[in-house]
Structure 1
Amino acid sequence: MMKKRSALLVSVGFVALWGSAGAGPALAAEFANGPASVAPLAKRLEDAVVNIATSQTVKGPAGNPLPKVPKGAPFEDFFDDFFNKRGGVPHGDRKVSSLGSGFVIDGKEGLIVTNNHVIEGAEEIDINFHDGSKLVVEKIIGRDTKADLALLKVTPKKPLADVKFGPSSQIDVGDWVMAIGNPFGLGGSVSLGIISAKSRDINSGPYDDYLQTDAAINKGNSGGPLFNMNGEVIGVNTAIISPTGGSIGIGFAVPSDTVAKVIDQLKQYGEVRRGWLGVKIQTVTDDIAETLGLPQNTGALVAAVTPGSPASKAGLEAGDVILRFDGKDVTTMRGLPKMVAQAEVGQAVDLELLRKGQKQNAQVTVGRLEDDDDNASDLKNDLGKDADPKGSTIIGLTLSPLSDDLRKKYNLDDKIKGVVVEQVDPQSPAASKGLKPGDVIVEAGQDSVSEPDDVAKSVEKVKKAGRKAVLLRVEDSKGDLRFVAVPLS
């Protein structure tokens, strides 16, 4: 699995010029064999693209400091090897520097956008412009770790060249892009490519929705803008996949539709205020879809509703499948948190649900997501060790009514109601679905259960209905709820 800024997935920054989907047939014909030259556009945009140099103090034994070598510089590895591995380690606190990219969005006010990781931990931030001038960042107006964005403030002596956001939703795979950035400390570098894919999930967070490009992107390009062929910013470059740290043609950028909303809130509030429903959701897998009579890749299944949350007040229940949010189809589980996060706090939003086979409409007033809320939980489960049970065996599960002894044995809260799993046949479909001893079946076939016989009756009812699996709602000792579709054969 890829993780942000790991050995393979490296945070970078690059500026790219992306073709506009709305440019029309004339532009398509002009660039049928690739653009003849992007020099006029690069010249027009380069003054708004900046190099960002940061420094911070790191502690060490007393002595002489290391020579300052910019992060990603051609001889960085040589200096690191010489001074760190051959007895030349410096003594005393020293300053280390790093370089990234950014772009000006308001030349009069001196507002600059970059990645949060570019300036994270920095004690000093200098902005270097294309003409050789330099300004010191006076204030970090705000930062958002979830989208990896930051908004900086400088005081210009005269209005700076700036750029505007364009609609990333209108960019298509195959549109031309140009990168202007600060790779390896070489400011003002330009590269050209296309959009390779959209809506990429690189497992860096719950709101992953990256643009992918094959434009040459390298270390030091982090925070640089992506431009379409009209010179509008349609993304902020953030990461690459690379086994070496250099470009292999797979780079990622936060789309401008997301960036513009985040930056607007940072300007207004100094923080980001994301929408919140108060539901824990999970993917509608093929087997779960079959038990609910749904097409695959449809909606987000509500596993639990937070008491007192907007979803609770709107009447949402565990087992509901959210099909549409604010007029937009929810085609995947991960799609819903992105829609909710971008909704305005306090906004009344229409929902379309599937509840026990029937479509229903509801309206929810979007709340505000706090830092410790988890609105995008894809509930996982782990296989556990078998217990020594004495209950009834159903669909490969040995089940018993809850008792004080069993609650103590499995560390189950008194509020948990249902039938406890004491043993799982390792050859059964239930085992392959991750059910384990100590799990409590709360519902079977969307009916509440309190005895093993209730589970058996629900299984028989599902069989008579011609279903191939029974849908169980399961709660663990931590109070986490999830739905599991267990095949009946």
Structure 2
Amino acid sequence: MKKIANLLFVSVLGGVLTLGSYKLFFDEESQEFQAKDQTTQNSFLPVTNTNHVYGTNADFTEAAEKTVHAVVHVKNVAVFKGPRNIWEYYQYGNNGGRALQGAGSGVIITPDGYIVTNNHVIEGASEIEVTLNNNQTYKAEVIGSDPISDIALIKVDAEDLEYIPFGNSDNVKLGEWVLAVGNPFNLKSTVTAGIISAKARDLNANDSSPQSFIQTDAAINPGNSGGALVNINGELIGINTAITSPSGSYIGYAFAVPSNNARKIVEDIMEFGDVQQGILGIRGGSITPAAIQELELSESQGVYVSDVTPGSGAANAGIRERDIIKKIDNININKFSDLTGYINSKRPGDEVKVKIVRDGDEKELNVKLTKLETYSIIPIGLEVANATKEELKALQAPNGVRINRTLAENLPAGELVGGIISEINNQKVNSIRDVREVIQERRTSEPIVITFYDLNGEKQRMAWR
């Protein structure tokens, strides 16, 4: 759990959650903005976009009736052949058994059984059980997940289920009434009401993994992870993910992944098998009072561009260092999480209009988002790329990323390039997104240990200190 403003700390609902945020541009490492998608015209999930603000006389009953049967209880079960510790030995003997790893909520998003939940709810599960509000229980399979956003997609074999259509989270307004639907404390589906307290909320300014949450004061408690945040129309506008609390229970601060971001991730998993990641192609961060004074900036809000990636969409469009991004499409950019919250709902290849301020003059540029193809692990001098199934099979590697090239002259490129890195610091990596997360989460003083399969398919370990 991490402290927020030295007063509150993040309490994870139903499991372990790494919460991402923005990084100030004058910190030690800058952040390259990445894209996740939500393009309405390409959507193949049930979507509505009618959500709007209601007054205090809003009736919650219709929205509750529409959604309560589409929120399920998700049980994460581990199956083991023998006792893993003394307690399991006393309980199961030498025969092994089944142990509950955790539980949370999920949201049915299609009538044929696709369900969105949090990655930390289903992580490490041998079996997943889903119980509907009518007590029917199903076995579920994991279709895919994205640990960085903490979104997972699972499916049950069922038909004609009640589901919640996606709303447009860009349309939500501060003060708008919302309902949180979930399974707190292993109860049946429970509905609580509140308002939108904030948008594009970041939870930890020192974390280098950006995230942008909807904040609400609807009561959310353990077991609500993966549940639905809906508007008065009964449309899904967020996936409940975390609270801040010294006790682990609700005290008025709750956070949800915006529905546009969750829908993009789910559609990517369904269509491509993984998250399609793109970049705007800049590094930088939020403008702060210290930055205004240090860099003599004329703007008090926005995202300051400290570096532009050569060949990126930003570079091709003419964005330069020291530009200040003020608006993307119709979204005002006051801080870094405003930018990531919107860009994270887009796909590589999408075009966005970026309004910048340069030397006091406003300019509007069309930027085509590009795909993040490789990632450079600077501390160890290696560049990695996503590995194909054929590349993994060729070296008998169960998972991993391909070593694309060496960045340091003292490394034996002939022996390394083409090899597969399967673990970094004992954490499995399946994509360059995973690599980025592990590297950015580590302390700079920590060594880096990689487990990799060489060109002969032999498993080896290397350490950098």
TM-score range, shorter chain: 0.5 to 0.7
Contact 1:282 1:301 (8 Å CA) reproduced: yes
Aligned to 1:60: 84
Partner of 2:344: helix, strand, or coil?
A: helix
Q: 1:51 aligns with which of 58, 73, 83?
A: 73
Contact 2:68 2:190 (8 Å CA) reproduced: no
Aligned to 1:231: 234
**Pair 1:174 & 2:178 matched:** no
Contact 1:114 1:149 (8 Å CA) reproduced: yes
Contact 2:9 2:246 (8 Å CA) reproduced: yes
Aligned to 1:456: none
Contact 1:221 1:237 (8 Å CA) reproduced: yes
Contact 2:200 2:337 (8 Å CA) reproduced: no
Extract unaligned runs of 5+ from structure 1. Answer: 14-19, 69-89, 375-412, 414-489
| TM-score (structure 2 length as normaliser) | 0.63
Partner of 2:69: helix, strand, or coil?
A: helix
Partner of 2:263: helix, strand, or coil?
A: helix
Instruction: Please show how residues 282-321 of structure 1 align to structure 2 within 5 Å.
Output: 282-286=285-289, 288-289=291-292, 292=296, 294-297=298-301, 299-321=302-324
Comparing 46-55 with 325-334, which one deviates more in the overlay? 325-334
Contact 1:274 1:344 (8 Å CA) reproduced: yes
Tell me by how many angstroms 1:323 deviates.
3.4
Partner of 1:334: helix, strand, or coil?
A: helix
Q: Which string of whole-angstrom CA distances, capped at 9 and with x for unpartnered residues, describes residues 256-306 of structure 1?
A: 222222222222222222330222113333354465552311x32222223
Extract unaligned runs of 5+ from structure 2. Answer: 15-49, 378-407, 409-465
Tell me by how many angstroms 1:356 deviates.
4.4
Q: 1:365 aligns with which of 364, 368, 391?
A: 368
- Counterpart of 2:201, as a letter, is R
**Pair 1:106 & 2:133 matched:** no
The separation in 2 between residues aligned to 1:333 and 1:192, in whole angstroms, is: 29
Aligned to 1:258: 261
Alignment: residue pair count:
335
Partner of 2:173: helix, strand, or coil?
A: coil
Instruction: Please show how residues 187-336 of structure 1 align to structure 2 within 5 Å.
Output: 187-203=188-204, 206-286=209-289, 288-289=291-292, 292=296, 294-297=298-301, 299-326=302-329, 328-336=331-339
Q: Which string of whole-angstrom CA distances, capped at 9 and with x for unpartnered residues, describes residues 2-56 of structure 1?
A: 37xx99312227xxxxxx96366xxx3634xxx5xx4554344322111001112
The separation in 1 between residues aligned to 2:344 and 2:63, in whole angstroms, is: 34
Q: 1:153 aligns with which of 144, 152, 155?
A: 155
Tell me by how many angstroms 1:94 deviates.
5.4
Tell me by how many angstroms 1:244 deviates.
1.3
Contact 1:112 1:153 (8 Å CA) reproduced: yes
The separation in 2 between residues aligned to 1:170 and 1:355, in whole angstroms, is: 29
Contact 2:69 2:189 (8 Å CA) reproduced: no
Q: 1:133 to 1:368 in 2, by over 3 A?
A: same
Partner of 1:261: helix, strand, or coil?
A: helix
Contact 2:350 2:368 (8 Å CA) reproduced: yes
Q: 1:310 to 1:93 in 2, by over 3 A?
A: farther
The separation in 2 between residues aligned to 1:29 and 1:202, in whole angstroms, is: 29
The separation in 1 between residues aligned to 2:105 and 2:153, in whole angstroms, is: 13
Q: Which string of whole-angstrom CA distances, capped at 9 and with x for unpartnered residues, describes residues 373-410 of structure 1?
A: 79xxxxxxxxxxxxxxxxxxxxxxxxxxxxxxxxxxxx
Q: 1:194 to 1:319 in 2, by over 3 A?
A: closer
| TM-score (structure 1 length as normaliser) | 0.60
- Counterpart of 2:147, as a letter, is T
Q: 1:248 to 1:360 in 2, by over 3 A?
A: closer
The separation in 2 between residues aligned to 1:174 and 1:150, in whole angstroms, is: 29
Aligned to 2:184: 183
Identity %: 35
- Counterpart of 1:256, as a letter, is S
The separation in 2 between residues aligned to 1:67 and 1:218, in whole angstroms, is: 30
Q: 1:327 to 1:193 in 2, by over 3 A?
A: closer
Partner of 2:304: helix, strand, or coil?
A: strand
The separation in 2 between residues aligned to 1:326 and 1:228, in whole angstroms, is: 24
Partner of 1:278: helix, strand, or coil?
A: strand
The separation in 1 between residues aligned to 2:326 and 2:192, in whole angstroms, is: 41
The separation in 2 between residues aligned to 1:301 and 1:55, in whole angstroms, is: 46
Q: 1:134 to 1:173 in 2, by over 3 A?
A: same
Contact 2:53 2:176 (8 Å CA) reproduced: no
Partner of 1:199: helix, strand, or coil?
A: strand
The separation in 1 between residues aligned to 2:177 and 2:90, in whole angstroms, is: 42
The separation in 2 between residues aligned to 1:177 and 1:327, in whole angstroms, is: 23
Contact 1:200 1:210 (8 Å CA) reproduced: yes
- Counterpart of 1:154, as a letter, is V
Contact 1:176 1:193 (8 Å CA) reproduced: yes
- Counterpart of 2:67, as a letter, is L
The separation in 1 between residues aligned to 2:117 and 2:256, in whole angstroms, is: 12
Contact 1:147 1:207 (8 Å CA) reproduced: no
Tell me by how many angstroms 1:112 deviates.
0.6
Instruction: Please show how residues 84-95 of structure 1 align to structure 2 within 5 Å.
Output: 95=98
Contact 1:21 1:170 (8 Å CA) reproduced: yes
Q: 1:166 to 1:371 in 2, by over 3 A?
A: farther
Larger radius of gyration: 1
- Counterpart of 2:304, as a letter, is L
Contact 2:12 2:248 (8 Å CA) reproduced: no
Tell me by how many angstroms 1:117 deviates.
0.8
Comparing 240-249 with 172-181, which one deviates more in the overlay? 172-181
Contact 2:242 2:256 (8 Å CA) reproduced: yes
Tell me by how many angstroms 1:312 deviates.
3.3
Partner of 2:192: helix, strand, or coil?
A: strand
- The two structures, once aligned, show a CA RMSD in angstroms of 3.4
Contact 1:184 1:219 (8 Å CA) reproduced: yes
